[in-house]
């Protein structure tokens, strides 16, 4: 019984790391909307001069959204399981 109480007291979420993970998930959410919207706008304006640069920027934003998603989930899980 004492061992269970000791384990329960040491298994707490690190709030600073959790905030960092939630911030990364917020950045991911912003990029998840910005990237595809910019991609749609660039595909609908093929005759403009900034067609290719807009496509490149929007694809980079989409990849950054995926990166921040995995990084945010890993950070949140690290805060719950006390990995530093």
Q: For residue range 28-47, list pLDDT tens digits in order.
A: 999 999 999 999 999 998 88
Residue 1's pLDDT band (cuts 50, 70, 90): low
3-class secondary-structure state, position 83? coil
> Does residue 3 carry a pLDDT above 80?
no
Spatial contact of 79 and 22, defined as CB atoms under 8 Å apart: no
Phi, psi (rounded to 5 degrees) for 47: -85, -10
pLDDT of residue 59: 96
pLDDT at 80: 87
Q: What is the pTM of this model?
A: 0.78
For residues 55 and 42, is the Cβ–Cβ distance under 8 A?
yes
């Amino acid at each position: 019984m004492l061992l269970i109480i000791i384990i329960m007291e040491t298994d707490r979420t690190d709030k600073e790391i959790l905030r960092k993970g939630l911030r990364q998930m917020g950045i991911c959410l912003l990029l998840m909307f910005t990237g595809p919207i910019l991609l749609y706008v660039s595909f609908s304006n093929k005759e403009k001069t900034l067609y290719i640069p807009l496509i490149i920027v929007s694809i980079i934003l989409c990849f950054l959204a995926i990166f921040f998603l995995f990084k945010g989930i890993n950070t949140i899980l690290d805060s719950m399981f006390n990995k530093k």
